[in-house]
Amino acid sequence: NFVFPSRLNGFESEGAYSVMIAASELERKTGKKVIRLEIGQPSEPTPKHIVEAACKSLQAGETGYTLPLGLRALREEIARHVTETRGVAVLPEEVVVGPGAKPGLFFTALSILHPGEEVIYPDPGFPTYKAMAIIAEAKPVPVPMRADGKSFDMQALEKAVSSKTKMLILNSPNNPTGGVMPTEDILHIAKLAKQHNFYVIADEIYSRLVYSDEKPPSIFSLPGMKERTILIDGFSKAYSMTGFRLGWAIMPELLTKKMEPLLVHAVGCTPPFVQAAGLAALRGSQDSVQEMAKEYEKRRDLVVKELNSIPGVWCPVPEGAFYAFPDVSSFGMTSKQIANILLEKGMVAVLPGTDFGANGEGRIRISYVAPMDMLKEGLKRIRETLATLS
Distances (CA, A) of 285 to 29, 282, 290, 349: 43, 8, 10, 34
Q: What minimum distance in Å lies between the beta carbon of 115 and ligand PLP?
A: 24
Closest distance of CB 38 from ligand PLP, Å: 12
Gyration radius of the chain's alpha carbons? 21
Tell me the per-residue interface mask from 124 to 163 with ligand PLP, x by CB under 6 A, - otherwise.
Answer: --x-------------------------------------
Q: Which residues contact 374 (CB under 8 A, 6 or more apart)?
A: 35, 36
Amino acid making up residue 123: D
Number of residues that bind ligand PLP (CB under 6 A): 13
3-class DSSP state for residue 196? helix
* Nearest distance from C-beta of residue 332 to ligand PLP, angstroms: 30
Q: What value, to the nearest 5°, has the Cα angle with vertex 384 and ends 379 and 390?
A: 120
- Binding residue for ligand PLP (CB under 6 A) from 70, 216, 234, 316? 234
Choose between 212 and 242: whose C-beta lies nearer to ligand PLP. Answer: 242
Q: Which residue, 169 or 347, is less far from ligand PLP as judged by CB?
A: 169
- Check residue 106 for interaction with ligand PLP (CB under 6 A): no
Decide: is 221 part of the binding site for ligand PLP (CB under 6 A).
no
Q: Which range binds ligand PLP by CB under 6 A, 47-55, 97-105, 156-164, 382-390?
A: 97-105
Q: Which region, judged by CB under 6 A, interacts with ligand PLP, from 42-50, 86-94, 95-103, 375-383?
A: 95-103
Which position among 172, 207, 236, 256 is part of the footprint of ligand PLP (CB under 6 A)?
Answer: 236
Q: Measured from the CB of residue 62, what is the shortest distance to ligand PLP in angstroms?
A: 21
Q: Is 339 within 8 Å of 125 (Cβ atoms)?
A: no
The one among 108, 175, 207, 359 contacting ligand PLP by CB under 6 A: 175
Q: Which is nearer to ligand PLP, 41 or 337 (CB)?
A: 41
The rounded distance, in Å, linking the Cα atoms of 333 and 355 is 15
Judged on CB neighbours under 10 Å (0-12, 13-18, 19+), 4 is exposed
Q: Which residues within the stretch 11-50 sit at the binding site for ligand PLP (CB under 6 A)?
A: 40
Three-class SS state of 355 = helix
Binding mask 296-335 for ligand PLP (x = CB under 6 A): ----------------------------------------
Of 66, 111, 165, 171, the residue at the interface with ligand PLP (CB under 6 A) is 171
Q: Sign of the CA dihedral 142, 148, 150, 154?
A: negative
Amino acid at 143: V
State the amino acid at position 163 in one-letter form: S
Burial (CB count <10 Å: 0-12, 13-18, 19+), residue 115: exposed
What is residue 363's DSSP assignment?
B
The Cα 138–Cα 126 span in angstroms is: 17
Would you say 71 or 101 has its CB closer to ligand PLP?
101
Binding site for ligand PLP (CB under 6 A): 40, 100-102, 126, 171, 175, 203, 205, 234, 236, 242, 247
